[in-house]
Structure 1
Amino acid sequence: MNQILCLSPSPWRSIPTRTQQLMTRLKDAKLLYFEPPGKHWKKPGREMRPGLTVYTLPPVLEAEERHQLLFRRHYRKLASHIQRQMDRHRFREPLIWCTSPEHVHLLEYLPHKGIVYDCDRDWPDYPPEWESDLALASDVIFAASPGLVDHLSPCNDNIALLPNGVNHQMFTRPEGECPPELVRIPGPVLGYCGVVWEDLELGPVAEAAQALPDCTFVFLGRVEDSLMARRLERFPNVLFLGRRAPVEVPDYLARFDVCLNLRRRSERYDDIVPTRIYEYLSSGKPIVSMFYPEQVEHFPDVVYGAHSPEEFARLCRRALTETGDWARLRRQEHGAGAAWSVRAEQVQRILTAIGLYH
């Protein structure tokens, strides 16, 4: 049985992260998953599925790296806690799965047979040397986008592109009942799934909502404090429905006639495909997405790519008139290829090929 020690930068969530999606699908493995320090660190581990136990790291006094004595004491304390849980579960030399540059400081204190770095974002708040050291120490790196591959390639030749994924079956299941908030909406529905961040550019939706007054624009997800969101709430054909449980999201998406993807200013130079896109693809619904001029368009064969609010509104109208099955089936094909089970199988094949999985 393979032993994997996973270090996560975020707590175990009801809405699964990329790390959770991969860890729950790795076969023939026993996993210990360590989430960041928290007040419940003294509680027993939580078994999320047979062979996968989640532990919370203990709170520690943080110190800047220039205070070397305190800095090293911080990570030694965390490593001691991890080692105690390893001993309890009889982990000897596990494969360590790292997901943040900070984890490089734990490696010297933990026995291991190999190191994986799964990079799914940029880390501007950490010194670049931390990520460089982690990349150099890793036996293999999984990167979520071509840009991240290029970013890490000077430090390691053994890098595999591993984009985000989707719970494909959830978004291809038979349609359930129409959500009550959408039952009485007579016209077409154009919807966005995801957090409405403060820096989410909502101007294109304002343009489209005015150009298409007979359509309803629906936002499904938590809303951050946003001046533009407050303005949009005044539009008669714009609805903010708030957050829904993940299991409910496919029922809302099934009612959408067109799925929308918008830009965040903080992600202007990212080329990471958000999980939202794969959910849209799995549904087969038409997709209209905003792009910055320098961004590479994802899935240009089946996604309507706009570069201005005016073009966004025109493409929303065009997407509503889409006919035939070719585009729908092609989108679902893209979604099936991005299933988290497929991503996990890719991980296992690569780890097996380099002798870290059996």
Structure 2
Amino acid sequence: MHHQPHAAAGPYDKPDLLCLCHLSWDFVFQRPHHLMSRFARERRVFFWQAPAYDAAEPWLDVSTRDDGLVVAVPHLPWHGWDASDVMLCELLDAFMAEQGIGEHVAWYYDPLAVGYTRHLQPLATVYDVMDELKSFKWAPDHLPDRERELLERADLVFTGGRSIYEARVGLHPSIHLFPSSIDAAHFNRARGDVDDPADQAGIPHPRIGYCGVLDERLDLELVRGLAAARPDWHLVFVGPAAKLDEDDLPRAANIHYLAGKPYAELPDYLGGWDVAALFFARNEHTRFISPTKTPEYLAAGLPTVSSPIVDVVRAWGSTGLVHIAETVDEWVQAIESALAESDRRGWLERVDVELAKTSWDRTWQEMSELMEEVLEQRMFAAGDEWDALENEVSGLMASAGD
């Protein structure tokens, strides 16, 4: 008789998924959101995000979203990393008991979470490396140690870009490259007639747009220089500022900050731009990035200019689908040629051939299959152990009866 794992509570027969993430569910819609919202259609998904240090006593904010996905936000006082791990461990254990989470998959984006989840015994552990967190501003000193430990614990490692993959390929026996994907139909809407949102409608053309978080990866000097070089161009930023003071942001009559927008509204904004931009600095924060924005801009039908980010150059620049520029002068030339693009239809056809090679549905499906393989191996191993135990018991009983 094989040992059968007990089914997850609720209408699903697949094990629960506990996602431990450094990002907030309510921030910008990114890789974890695309994948977890798809998992939530077939199993219970619990999205546990990094703590907010804003409370006198530890407490947990729990809410339910689309497809029943549960978001848990820990609120803690700050007494140092070790104290945080103890508090988070207690909050997580109580939460798992309350939600009836038994056999589960642990899916990590945040290596720091290892500090308070070591005691868990998931059926499978997945580490999806979407960012080179070590290079982020304010990354704690012990993050590399936590990541090494997570790589040892993980059954599967996925990476969000080729540079991140190459930096880890020798560190784990089962590592898989899944570059950031695209929900093409969503962004294709920007190619049709969309109503210019009220806060963008008054901005003159040509508009050069950037969509995403405004943080230490942005090249602020480039933005300043470009705005000064071409006062007739209008630079539009759609996204929240993070880890940057508002005072640090370049200010000029032709720079417009429209704040963060819901994912559903992004095509309306992109549809009103003339050129899309990836204003990234060349620094340690951007060395390994593989921006999801690139295929989103292209799906929106926008000529795109990017700084020479390795993964962008490899995937899109080398084929001429994206213009690459570094200095302010190069950016001016690249934007001018993007605005003047004569064979727009031929370029779009080439873009669509490239974009058709991937989708979030396909990425999720392939990840899911790899995860199911690990779970099946686990079940067989558990079944063999059970059979061995039963045989041992039968043998003991038989010899006792002799």
Structure 2 length as normaliser, TM-score?
Answer: 0.75
Secondary structure of the residue aligned to 1:250 is: helix
1:190 to 197, 208, 212: 208
2:398 maps to none
Tell me, yes or no, if the aligned pair for 2:287 and 2:310 is still in contact at 8 Å.
no
1:52–1:172 distance in 2 versus 1, CA, 3 Å: same
Structure 1 segment 1-358 matched on structure 2, within 5 A? 1-2=13-14, 3-26=16-39, 27-38=41-52, 39=55, 42=59, 45-57=62-74, 59=76, 62-63=79-80, 71=82, 75-124=85-134, 125-127=140-142, 128-173=144-189, 174-183=192-201, 187-197=205-215, 200-209=218-227, 212=230, 214-222=232-240, 224-225=244-245, 229-230=249-250, 232-234=251-253, 237-267=254-284, 269-291=286-308, 296-300=313-317, 301=319, 302-324=321-343, 325-355=345-375
Structure 1 length as normaliser, TM-score?
Answer: 0.83
1:253–1:112 distance in 2 versus 1, CA, 3 Å: same
1:242–1:58 distance in 2 versus 1, CA, 3 Å: closer
Tell me, yes or no, if the aligned pair for 1:289 and 1:304 is still in contact at 8 Å.
yes
Quick one: which amino acid aligns to residue 50 of structure 1? D
1:44–1:219 distance in 2 versus 1, CA, 3 Å: closer
What is the rounded CA distance, in whole Å, between the counterparts of 1:77 and 1:268 in structure 2?
A: 30
Residue 159 of structure 1 and its aligned partner are, at CA, apart by: 0.6
Tell me, yes or no, if the aligned pair for 1:268 and 1:292 is still in contact at 8 Å.
no
Unaligned runs of 5+ in 2: 1-12, 135-139, 380-402
Tell me, yes or no, if the aligned pair for 1:18 and 1:164 is still in contact at 8 Å.
yes
Residue 9 of structure 1 and its aligned partner are, at CA, apart by: 1.9
1:68 maps to none
1:75–1:262 distance in 2 versus 1, CA, 3 Å: same
What is the rounded CA distance, in whole Å, between the counterparts of 1:330 and 1:340 in structure 2?
A: 20
What is the rounded CA distance, in whole Å, between the counterparts of 1:213 and 1:78 in structure 2?
A: 50
Quick one: which amino acid aligns to residue 10 of structure 1? L
Residue 136 of structure 1 and its aligned partner are, at CA, apart by: 1.1
Identity across the alignment (%): 24
Secondary structure of the residue aligned to 1:315 is: helix
What is the rounded CA distance, in whole Å, between the counterparts of 2:284 and 2:362 in structure 1?
A: 26
Residue deviations 1:179-207, cap 9 Å, x none? 34544556422222233436622444455
RMSD: 3.2
1:67 maps to none
How many residues matched?
348
Tell me, yes or no, if the aligned pair for 1:76 and 1:109 is still in contact at 8 Å.
no
1:116–1:187 distance in 2 versus 1, CA, 3 Å: closer
Quick one: which amino acid aligns to residue 323 of structure 1? S
Tell me, yes or no, if the aligned pair for 1:79 and 1:109 is still in contact at 8 Å.
no
Tell me, yes or no, if the aligned pair for 2:162 and 2:311 is still in contact at 8 Å.
no
1:239–1:6 distance in 2 versus 1, CA, 3 Å: closer
What is the rounded CA distance, in whole Å, between the counterparts of 2:247 and 2:86 in structure 1?
A: 45
Tell me, yes or no, if the aligned pair for 1:83 and 1:110 is still in contact at 8 Å.
no
Residue deviations 1:218-272, cap 9 Å, x none? 2333454477744x414xx443334333333211211111111111355455232
The 10-residue stretch of structure 1 (22-31 or 52-61) with the greater mean CA deviation from structure 2: 52-61
What is the rounded CA distance, in whole Å, between the counterparts of 1:349 and 1:314 in structure 2?
A: 45
Residue 77 of structure 1 and its aligned partner are, at CA, apart by: 4.5
Tell me, yes or no, if the aligned pair for 1:192 and 1:260 is still in contact at 8 Å.
yes
Secondary structure of the residue aligned to 2:289 is: coil
Residue 22 of structure 1 and its aligned partner are, at CA, apart by: 1.3
What is the rounded CA distance, in whole Å, between the counterparts of 2:77 and 2:180 in structure 1?
A: 32
What is the rounded CA distance, in whole Å, between the counterparts of 2:257 and 2:91 in structure 1?
A: 43
Quick one: which amino acid aligns to residue 195 of structure 1? V
Tell me, yes or no, if the aligned pair for 1:269 and 1:295 is still in contact at 8 Å.
no
1:198–1:134 distance in 2 versus 1, CA, 3 Å: closer
